[in-house]
Chains A and B, each alone.
Chain A
Amino acid sequence: MHLKRPKFLCFKDKAEIFLFILASISIIILFLIIVFVLNEGIPAFIELGFSNFLFGQRWAPYYGDFGAFPLLYGSILIVLGSLAISVPLGVFTAIFLAECSPRWLSNILKPVIELLAAIPSIIYGFFGFMFLAPKIMEFLDVSMGKVALTASIILSIMTVPTIVSISSEVIASVPKEYRKASLALGATKWQTIKSMVLPAAKPGIIASLLLAFGRAIGETVAVLMVCGCVPQIPSPPWNYLKPVHALTAAIALDMGEVSWGSLHYHVLFGLGVILLVITFIVNAIADFFTKKAPRGVQI
């Protein structure tokens, strides 16, 4: 009698068992990350109370005030600002690359964009710290160069590659028939792009935007060096010319000085939990939009 074993236990040879074990390590790593960050972060939520921690208005760890709201607000302010710059920049660049870039320019542009993605964040931080912040102080006539706007500009350069690479892939994958049909109806090239290509590519572009959001909110060193690190909600709240603080920056700045097991230590892991939850949600939504991209585009 042929016994039907569950399929995942059917190993073809010894090599497969070995490879399977090594391959499952990535699952274990992800599991351990979640367990350990939660394990160290949950005590902060319990001790401070969920809403006191998340919506507390004052972040002054050395005075015992652990309200994460200014950090959360700062992070989101910076990231939204960066997207406001990088989305038009990235999407237009992607359209340019796909539709009207001469070959020689594409040959320069593509490696440049790849390199922009590869430049370490500390280099961006260094650039922002030494070059951009003084320039902002000079041109906008503010008393401090390290403000939310500086961080947004630096982050936008860092996230443009994500948006360009995914958007251009999606735009290129819009079926040729769509374009041809539109051109045959007498639409100009620009009209075709505007009313045929972009709407068809919209889910993919949204996915790229969300991935950029996820990447930007997790960015640490570059933000830390240029955001000013003042835990406040600027007045008015949309004022980009005030220094702010960010979730990631607070973790990186304080972690070196806390004693292991103290409330401050757990609070920093609690910030990590908030960050992890945000990135997982954003990535999951991005995943959803990716699947809606035309003709099963692989992103």
Chain B
Amino acid sequence: MKVVKERFVPFLLAFPVAILLLAFASIILFIGIGGFSAINLKMLTTSVRKGGIFEPIIGTLYLLAGAIAIATPLGLATAIYLVEYAPKGKINRIITQALNNLAGVPSIIFGLFGYAFFCRFLGFGISLLSGWLTLTCMTLPIIVRGSQEALRMVPRDFRIAAEALGVPKWKAIKDIVLPTAAPGLATSIILGISRVSGETAAILFTASTFLIKGLPTSPLQPVMVLTYHLYTLLVATPGASLNRAFAMALTLLGLVILLNLLAYLLRMHYRKRWKW
């Protein structure tokens, strides 16, 4: 009897797994089917005012590029400091704790903070720049955590060998540790981009407006973004064109899946290559 019951356990456990796969498939299919029937090249390249989604797409890229350009050096520097210079001790603990807390802060709080600090206190207004800085605060923990892992995977022997040859520490890091860890670092940055690209709450009142004429020409101008545009289209515009909503959802989902696929492939490649 016991043995018979035992046989059913895997099936019982497979039930929640099936639900999970079903949920995933239905999201992908719903947006995929709706999106592919709505999207076309003309819509992607036409201005919003003529029923396209050109500006939100380019605006999203603007927002991503700036945020990552700021967050990457900052995150890498933090990770290098934590792993190479202060692997333990009080400072490491404090910074790690700060990053952990930062990772737990809800995105809407980043939005509130960004509005109060960047837009108002520093006077940047609702602008691309405020968006970049707010998103930098948000992605920093993700980039640092991933980079730390990548740096830790570089064998200790490399560092010891460099030290034995009399190479200064910063030079050993620059020429040996960083190139070795490069694929891992790239993965963490890509995952950071992926997170930023789907963010809505943090840019709700820091970077974006629903309708602007054209693309921003300076960092102090607001920008149109896919997530925000989709949000306003659904929440605040009753009777809006669903075609555009589906097209934007698909573009966004496609971007995120692409980025994650890239990160996944990089990681696989990395694992195969660096085996000691």
Contact = CB atoms under 8 A, between A and B. Distances in A.
Contacts of B9: 100, 189-190
Interface in B80-125: 80-82, 85-86, 89-91, 94-95, 98-102, 104-113, 115-117, 120-121
A279 interface: yes
Given A100-B13, A255-B205, A33 B24 contact: no
Interface string B9-43: 11001111101110110110011001000000000
Contacts of B10: 96, 100
Interface in B200-217: 200-201, 204-205
B81 A20 contact: yes
A33, A95, A157 interface centre (most CB from chain B within 10 Å): A33
Nearest to A31: B98
B264 to A, nearest CB: 6
B106 A220 contact: yes
B45 to A, nearest CB: 23
B137 interface: yes
B198 A248 contact: no
Interface residues of B, number: 88
A253 B102 CA distance: 24
Nearest to A131: B30
Interface stretch (A64-72, A113-121, A171-179, A196-204): A113-121
Contacts of B144: 26
Contacts of B141: 26
Interface stretch (B46-54, B153-161, B175-183, B226-234): B226-234
Interface string B67-90: 000000110011011100110011
B85 A20 contact: yes
Main secondary structure of the interface of B (DSSP, over half): helix
Given A122-B198, A279-B106, 20 more contacts: A12-B169, A14-B170, A25-B74, A27-B95, A30-B101, A33-B109, A37-B113, A40-B116, A92-B15, A96-B10, A96-B13, A120-B198, A120-B252, A123-B27, A123-B252, A127-B31, A157-B27, A160-B20, A225-B235, A268-B112
Interface of A: 7-8, 12-16, 18-20, 22-27, 29-30, 32-33, 36-37, 39-40, 88-90, 92-93, 95-96, 99-101, 105, 108-109, 111-116, 118-127, 129-131, 157, 160, 188-190, 211, 214, 217-221, 224-225, 248, 251-253, 255-256, 260, 268-269, 272, 275-276, 279-280, 283, 287
24 contacts: A20-B81, A22-B73, A23-B78, A24-B95, A26-B78, A27-B98, A29-B137, A37-B112, A92-B13, A118-B260, A119-B256, A123-B198, A127-B30, A157-B27, A188-B3, A188-B6, A189-B9, A218-B108, A221-B200, A252-B201, A255-B204, A275-B109, A276-B109, A280-B104
Interface of B: 2-3, 5-6, 9-10, 13-17, 19-21, 23-24, 26-27, 30-31, 34, 73-74, 77-78, 80-82, 85-86, 89-91, 94-95, 98-102, 104-113, 115-117, 120-121, 137, 140-141, 144, 168-170, 173, 191, 194-195, 197-201, 204-205, 227, 230-231, 234-235, 242, 245, 249, 252-253, 256-257, 259-260, 264
